[in-house]
Every structure is written in structure tokens, then in C-alpha cells.
Chains A and B, each alone.
Chain A
Amino acid sequence: MAVLKTEGLKKYYGKDPNTVKALDGVDLEIKEGEFIAVVGTSGSGKSTLLHMLGGLDMPTDGKIIVGGKDISKMTDEQLTIFRRRNVGFVFQNYNLVPILNVYENIVLPIELDGNTVDESFVESIIETLGLSDKQINLPNNLSGGQQQRVAIARALATKPSILLADEPTGNLDSKTSQDVLGILKMTSTRFHQTIMMITHDEQIAQLADRVIRIEDGKIVAAEGR
């Protein structure tokens, strides 16, 4: 079953004749539990695609259907709520809230939704990501790899339909990168979590179930393993 589907997704910036076609008719379908890597050069439109799928940006044309709902028709408020219930984000520069400790950062999206925290689920994430002994640490007391693990945990905490990772290893050395990728891969398997990861690194992309290649706003190739 498709968790996420786009139809003729377009995002144009600016006006003629200076229109920049960041996305120019993307049709995409992602199945539940899939781990997909999107690769492309800088400026190819991969980040724009991710922002669209995450509801951070509105498409110029086309549909985005997540869990059966067309998010391209939602208001700003609806989008935000959709986002915190259905999408988990992992950023290149972690973006943890500096005043909150590891545990609090992880449960922040749940708190924002006004829900009670599913302690056992959160505990299992924390344990899986190896953060058990870091729970009361503040972000500035963690290494880059540890911070990214917290970010992944935060993204998983709300049991999202899809986890979107934007160059999650961009700021990490190769050993730690392997480590973080391993975790992503493992969560994909263990929590049956759909993951879409953006990267410009071919080698990293090979870890995914499927690699989508994007150039000039168009999908040029999709290859499964």
C-alpha cells in the first residue's frame, strides 16, 4: 500500500522569463516500510521535493497524497498539525532545542500535540538508539552523532507515516555517518518505518531499498535493489 504518492508535482519559483523550475512534474509512490534515498546534485530539486512532501512548502501544481489525504489543499494550520502527526524530520544540522534535555527533545512533538507520552514506546526508541544513559544531557553536551540520534528519536516519537531525512550525515565524519545510517536502516526494519532520505552521496544512497535520481526537477531514474 502506498503511504505517499505525488501526481504531477510542480514547484516553480519566480515569473517568466526567469522561472526556476525546482520541481517539474514529479510522480512518485512510496510503499509502507520502504527506505528510499533521493540523490541528485546541488540544485537538482531534491530538497524542494522533501519540503513539499513534509508540508513545509506548497506546490505550484500537482497533488501530494499522504495516508490518503491530499496535503496540497490544506491550510497552514492544518498542515502543521498534519506534519506533527504524520511526518518526522531529521535535519543536517540536528536542530535540537538547546534548553531541553535529550528526553524532553524527543517528546517535544508529542507534547506539542497535547498527547500523553507513550512511555514504553519512547523508552524503546531511546534504548534502540543507544541514548539510555544520555537522557538528562543537554544537546550541547553531545557529539554530532549523538545529537543526530536524538533528532532521529524525536522524528520517530510520534510514530509518523513517513520520516524525512535531509542530508542526515552531512555534518558527520564517515564512521559516525555509517553509524547513523545503520540506525536509520534498523528503524526502518524494526518499526516498519517508511523513510525518505536525501543525500548527494552515491555510496550512502546504496544502503536504501530504492534510490530515486532527480535532475532539473525531474525524476530521471528509480532503481530498486
Chain B
Amino acid sequence: MRNNNQAIIKKVSQRYYRANRTRNIVLACAIILTTVLITAACSIFYNYSKLSTHQELKENGTTANAVLSRPTQKQIDLLRGMDILQPELNIQYKLGSLIGNQGQAGIDVNMISATNWEQFSLSLVDNMQGAYPTENNEVMMSTWLLNRLGISTPQVGMGIPLSVGINDIKMGGGAEVQTLSFTLSGFYEDTANISTENKRVAFFSEALLEEYPQNTPDLVGFFFKDISGYQDKMEQVQTSVVIGENQHLIPSYDGKLNMSVKNFFIAALVVLFFMFDGYLIIYNVAYISITRDVRFYGLLKTLGMTYKQIKNIVYRNAFRTALFALPVGILLGWVLSFYVVPLALSSFAGAESMNTQVNSWVLLISAIFSLLTMFMSYRAPAQKAGKTSPIEASKFTALKNTKQISKGRKNAKIPYMALKNILRNKKRVFIVVLTLFLGTSTLLTLMTFLKSFSVEEYINAEVKYDIAMYNHVTRASFSPTEEQHFTPELMAQISAVDGIREMEKTTVVSIYQHYSDPIYSEWLRIANEFKGSMGEELRDKTLYEEDPRTNFWGLLIGIDDKKVEEYNRTAETPIDIEAFSKGQISLVTDINGSGIPIGAKIPFTVIDSEKTFEVTVGGQMTFARDSMNSGAAPWLIVSNHVINNYHPDAVLYSVKVNAKIGEEQDVLDAITLITSSDHSISRTSKIEQAKAFDDLKRSFSYLAVVITIILSSVGILNFMNTMIVSVLSRKQELAVFAAIGATKKQIKRLITFEGLWYALITFTFTLTVGSGINYLAFHVIRENLGFGTFTYPIVPLLLYTCVVFFLCGIIPLLLYRLVSRESVVERLREVG
């Protein structure tokens, strides 16, 4: 049947919209809050993916979409000619290496001349000063490298003499080393997560390249004009340029943000949680409004409106509100993002230098999620409105009570009556309490985290010493040519610092061992069992036997006797300290020494000197890896008293210091002063780490406050709307109450109690169910962090409880004022 009456539907729905101002305002607030939450959450996850993608690119050192290694001139020309590619290419030539500069020991530094560096790499570095070299005597490098070379305050234009070996790789390391003077044309901060090869690069101009021409570039990076269809385009490039045998076409940045499955799952969960919260309030607003207007819908039905048309009117009204509320929510969410994103991401590397960005896609997706939430919330109420039967509607009273009897005799007391009143609609109570509960439980959980993971515990769990100093170079890469940075002079200075209670030293010597089945077979079996369980490639002893210097190296570690004493205190099989101290025995570690038979005599060769020694294994002890690089062979531990017998002036890997109680800051200041001149010594301290952890916690507590405020607003708004309707629809009932002798005070008490019951029910659930969830969540986090004591946030919860109780008590009172302005007689007459 033809049923076209859009015009009248439009008209009715417009009039209906205007007649429901309060509902529209509440609905708008609900949509705005929901949208703000969803937008902020989407922004956080978007920026997180961007950050991690960016960090990954930083490790690659280029934003190129793909890289071709060792390209021929013909291939470069072909790439230039391809119309799917941008014309600018990032062609990198390796000119040679820096050799033997001061502070360079242990690291290789490549000399690179690159084209279009700014386009390909500038966005991956921070605080760029100056520009890429153009003249043949110009150089650019990272502040990290400059630091290594002894320049802590670089200036653009300063002169830097460098000792270089041009073409040293081509010539197999036999290049002539010459010292050239350069001018620093630019420098930048490299903030990649892990130290990568990119840090160990000095950039030079094309002019220098012309002076020392190279046959083939090291690589060429390129951008697609349009990133979509990445795979197809890669194949197109592959077929066009014909990849040679020694070449690789390496896909790099495909324009997509990376997000692990786990993170995606977390993001989805958070957004769903917010959507659920939004769903609850919008559903409740819709449901209440439709219940109230059931007579109106019945009338429309009577007058001949169909199910679809009524649904249409309901949806139109909702979307009309959304038309205004959604953009406001998006805008507020967008603004809020600039506050919450830095807070949320403060714990991730590279976050300090990140600019919060919210692109239009994020906003669009947030809008879609919000609309989806609204649509889902409105579905059931709209159907209910559409299905209204005219007859039922005319008889409908909002407060139907299906119960036939009630056994009590005491319920005429005000608190009981209040409870009975709110329980007239249990579903509504459930929804309101649930939204309030989400707010309180979120607060409870966030506060528990902030309280349970205290700075003290973090420090005790993670940091054993007040100050730990490391030979940073040794830490980055073990090389046989390590420099001693903790020189005897420096050590003397450190020891002389007032207030030091104890000091612990760890020394290292690079060695290689000589594989033999009687000593190592059980060890290899255990190692391979572990590798197998991790899905890693198994070890092959033939490699060890063929070239032990490369494949079977490890560390000879020197420790203080005190450390063994400490170990003996809790060890099942204590170690003979005297024998250890005299060098009669050595130890293996629990990290990589399981399976080495006690009593075995292990021969090893010091890499530096090629001198061979033998030690007897006298036991195994637990040992913290402390970021030491491992090598394949098991580590051997000897006393610091004897380590110099194997290698004179063995490199000190770490020096750890505990200060006397109360003098921590003084000791830290003194040591910072002493060690600041040598950039190869890195330092961590309890005080600094505690401060960093404290800062991190502060960021999270701000974030927690924002989330709690918004979620609580949703709960309170839902409560408010429910109370408005509850008071309005019982206008006459309350008037009768007044007529039979209830004073205004008593009626206010009744309504206040109704509000307080909501708060009481909510907190009963929070204390039971919420606390349970909270406790479980705490344990999950604790598992991951490895420390933490469950601390129930009594004070914050108490304060918050007071606020919620206050609001739940005061809001109904204020609402009652609206109603009680009319006289009892007027209200009695209203419903006839």
C-alpha cells in the first residue's frame, strides 16, 4: 500500500522535538559525554600507533616506502622514470668509516653521503639544528655521536677534525687513515628506542662524494606517489627494475600504522567499554522518554500512523539532537585529546618529542562509533514506541505495579517508602546504578593502581643500588678493544666521596671457550631445550668447534667476594669463599651456566691477548644479567681479586654505590660532578628513577581524574534524568502525600532518601563486585610489573563516596523545588 506522508511526519516530529526540551538537553549531554570519551580514547590509540610506528621508522632511519640495496645506475634511472614513484630518491653512498677518533673505541661509524636526507629522515630526528652538508668539508651527525667524540655542546659551524678511512671497506680495512678538518653543518637528537646503526653514522655532502667517487650506492630509498595498493606497486617495482642476485628490495613503510593484536584488543576493549557506558545512558534517556510519551504514540497510532512512521519520528528526534551534540562532543574530545594523549603516552619512549595529532579519520571513526552507540541505544525504545497499542496506551500509567500483595506492616516509614518507590522500576534502577557503578569502579581501579604500585616498591624491586654507573660503551656492544673508562684516577675520586656506605664493582673480560662434549653436552642439551620451547633455532656444536673465537665467545666476569657472601646467605649449596677469593675456583651463572658439571676444568682464551687459561668450576650462583651482552658460551665468574691475572686492567663494567642513610642526594651530586666529563659513563640512581616514576604516576593520576570525571558525569546525568522523570510523573502522588499531612520537609526527605538509595546500592556493588574486579585487575598488572602491594584506596573512595552521596541527595531536592512551586490544590487537580 502506498504510504507516503513524509511531510506530516516531519511536521509532527519537529513539533514533538520542540515540546521535549529537557529530554533533548539530557540526550545532548549524554551524546556529548559519550562522544568525548570515544574521541579521546580513539585519539590516544591513534597517537600510540603513530608513536610506535614512528619509533620503528626511527630504527630504520628512513621514512622511505621501500629500499633497494646496491642499485645500479640503470636501476636508479628506471626508478626515476617510474610514474608511480616520487621523483626524489634517497641515494646513499658509503664513503668509508671514521677510524680511531677519540672516544670512538668499540664502535664503527659509517661515512654516508645521501641525497634528499631531509625528505626521508628529518621527521625521524628531534631538535635538528643547521642543515644537511652541502660543501665538501661539512659534516652532520647525531648528538649521541658528537658526545662520544667529546663534543657535549655542539655548535653549527664549529670545526671538527676527523680521522677517516676512505673506501676502507672496499679495501678490506686496509685504507689509509687520514685526518681531515670538517665544519659541523648540522646535528640532531636521535631518539630511537634502541641504539641502532643509524646512530653510528656521520653524514657528508655530495661534493665530498664527487671528490671520492664510489661505484655503486649502498642503497636507494623511494616514496610512492600514492601509498594505496602497496603490495601491487612493490611488485611493479620489482618487475621493472629487475633485481639482481646480491640485491634486495626491502619493503619498509607501507603507510599503515602498526598496532599489535594485543594493543588492538586493548583499544577495542576500552572503546567498547565507553560505548557501553554511553549505551546505558542514551538507552535510559530514550526509554524513559518513550515511556512517558506512550499516550502520545498511542494517539498517533489511533490516528493512523504506522509502526515504521512512529519509529521514524523517534529516530528523527534522536538524530536531530545528535546533529548538534555530535559535533560538540567531537570538538570537545579533540580539545581534550591534547591534554590526555601526552598523559597517556608519557611512559613510552619518544613521547616527549611527539606532537599530539588527531586526524580527521580518527574524528570520523569516533563519530561513527558514537552514532552507532546512539543507534543501538535507540533501537529497542523506538521499536517499543512503534508497537504501542492505542488501547493500552490510553490506560497506561508509568508506574505500573504488577505485584498483588505486600506483606510488610512497617513500610509506611519514609526510608522504606523511598526504597519501594525507586524499586517500582527495577530495570531503571539497574541501569542508573550500573552507570554510577562504572564510574566508581573505574575510580577504584585507577586509584588502586596508583596506590598499590608505590615509588618505594618500584625502587626496591627494580633498583638495588642508590647509584649505578656503567661503562656505557661496554654496555652497548662488547668488543675486544674496550676502553677502561673507570680509570684508577676516577675510581680514587669516587671512593673519596663522603657518605658512601658500600661500593660494588663488576669487571668483564671477553673470552672464548673450547667446546668439548664431556664438559658442555649437558649444558648444550639444556640450552637447546630452552631454545626449542621458545621456538628459536637450535644451537649446533660444530659451529663452536670450527670457529670458537666468533661463535663460542662469552664473558669472564669479576665480582666482589661480598657478592658471594650475600649469595651464600640464602643458597642451598654455599660456595667456598676462600677458594673463590684465591682464584682456586670459578663459578657459572644461573642465566647461561646450567648443566656445566661442578669440578670441571674449563679452558678459555682471552680474546685480546690470545692467552689461554684454565679454571675449575666450583659452583653455580644466581646472577643478574644487568644488560650485559651475552655471547654463546657460558659466563665464568671469578673474584675481582684475581681477574687481573687473566687480563691486566680488566674493564670495569659497572660501579654501584650505596650511600649512608640521608646522604643519598649529596653522594649523587658529588658523583654526578665527577663523572659528568666522561660521556661513556652512564648513570642511574634511585633518586632520579624515583622522580621519573613519580612523574609517570602523576601523569597517570591526571588521566585517571579526567576519566573518572567524565564517567561519573555520565552516571550522575543518568541519575538526574531518572529523578527528573520520577519526580514529575509522581507530581500528583506527592500532592496527595501533602494533602494527607506530609510536610514539605517530609516529602523532601522521601525524595532525598530515594536519591541516597541509588548511591547506597551503587556503593554496595562497588565495595563487593567492584572490589573483586579491582583485586583481579591488580593481580594481572602485578604479574606484568613484578612488584606492587595491594592497597585499597580508602581515602579517595571515601571522598568520592561523599561527593556522590551529596549529589544523589541534593539533586532530587533541587528537582522537587521545580514541582513544589505549584500549590497542592493545583497539583491535585492536574490529573483528573
Contacts and interface: CB of A to CB of B under 8 A. Distances in A.
A97 to B, nearest CB: 7
B743 A85 contact: no
Interface in B243-281: none
Interface in A130-144: 136-138, 140-141
Given A85-B741, A113-B741, A51 B825 contact: yes
Contacts of B746: 112
A103 B404 contact: no
A84 interface: yes
Nearest to A139: B401
Contacts of B741: 80-81, 83-85, 87, 109, 112-113, 158
Contacts of A84: 740-742
Given A57-B823, A57-B825, A111-B413, A101 B742 contact: no
Given A54-B739, A57-B823, A104-B409, A98 B401 contact: yes
Contacts of A138: 401, 403-406
Contact of B417 (A99, A136, A155): A99
Interface in B729-784: 732-733, 736-746
A103 B408 CA distance: 9
A54 B736 CA distance: 13
Provide the main secondary structure of the chain B interface: loop
B412 interface: yes
Contacts of B421: 99
B407 interface: yes
B698 interface: no
Interface string B703-743: 00000000000000000000000000000110011111111
Contacts, number: 104
B602 interface: no
Contacts of B410: 104
A223 interface: no
Of B409, B737, B740, the most chain A CB neighbours within 10 A belong to: B740
Nearest to B829: A47
Contact of B420 (A100, A105, A109): A100
Interface string A26-58: 000000000000000000000000010010110
B156 interface: no
A108 B744 CA distance: 15
Interface in A86-120: 87, 89, 91, 93, 95, 97-101, 103-105, 107-109, 111-113
Interface in B423-475: 424
A77 interface: yes
B740 A112 contact: yes
A136 B405 contact: yes
A56 B736 CA distance: 11
Contacts of B399: 98
Interface string B127-157: 0000000000000000000000000000000
Contacts of B823: 56-57
A173 interface: no
B86 interface: no
B733 A97 contact: yes
Contacts of B355: none
Contacts of B744: 76-77, 80
B737 A56 contact: no
Given A51-B825, A101-B408, A140 B401 contact: yes
Nearest to A94: B736
B739 A83 contact: yes
Interface residues of A, number: 38
B736 A91 contact: yes
A63 interface: no
B697 to A, nearest CB: 49
A93 B831 CA distance: 10
Nearest to B409: A103
B116 interface: no
B740 A136 contact: no
A80 B404 contact: no
Contact of A100 (B400, B404, B406): B406
A80 B420 contact: no
Contacts of A83: 739-741
A154 interface: yes
A83 B746 CA distance: 14
B101 interface: no
B410 to A, nearest CB: 8
Interface string B794-832: 000000000000000000000000000001110010011
Nearest to A81: B743
B411 interface: yes
A198 B742 CA distance: 23
A137 B405 contact: yes
B412 A99 contact: no
A145 B333 CA distance: 59
Contacts of B403: 138
Of A95, A99, A137, the most chain B CB neighbours within 10 A belong to: A99
A95 B401 contact: no
Contacts of B740: 83-84, 89, 108-109, 112, 154-155
A211 B417 CA distance: 40
A83 B401 CA distance: 29
A203 B172 CA distance: 128
B736 A95 contact: yes
Of B407, B412, B424, B825, the most chain A CB neighbours within 10 A belong to: B412
Interface string A1-25: 0000000000000000000000000
A103 B738 CA distance: 19
A105 B405 CA distance: 13
Interface in B160-205: none
Nearest to A105: B412
B423 to A, nearest CB: 8
A56 B401 contact: no
Nearest to A78: B743
A81 B741 CA distance: 6
A50 B395 CA distance: 29
Contacts of A81: 741, 743
A52 B496 CA distance: 99
Contacts of B424: 98-99
B401 A99 contact: yes
Contacts of A100: 406, 411-412, 417, 420
Contact of A136 (B407, B412, B732, B745): B407
Nearest to B410: A104
A81 B745 CA distance: 11
Nearest to A80: B743
Nearest to B413: A111
A91 B744 CA distance: 21
Contact of B738 (A80, A97, A101): A80
Given A99-B420, A99-B421, A99-B424, A111 B412 contact: yes
14 contacts: A81-B743, A89-B740, A93-B831, A95-B739, A97-B736, A98-B424, A100-B411, A100-B417, A103-B409, A104-B410, A107-B412, A112-B743, A136-B406, A140-B404
Interface of B: 399-401, 403-413, 417, 420-421, 424, 732-733, 736-746, 823-825, 828, 831-832
Interface of A: 51, 54, 56-57, 76-77, 80-81, 83-85, 87, 89, 91, 93, 95, 97-101, 103-105, 107-109, 111-113, 136-138, 140-141, 154-155, 158
| Nearest 4 pairs of A and B residues by beta carbon | A84-B741, A95-B736, A99-B420, A111-B412
Given A83-B739, A84-B741, A112-B741, 15 more contacts: A56-B739, A77-B744, A83-B740, A83-B741, A95-B736, A95-B739, A97-B733, A98-B399, A104-B408, A104-B412, A105-B412, A109-B740, A111-B412, A111-B413, A154-B740
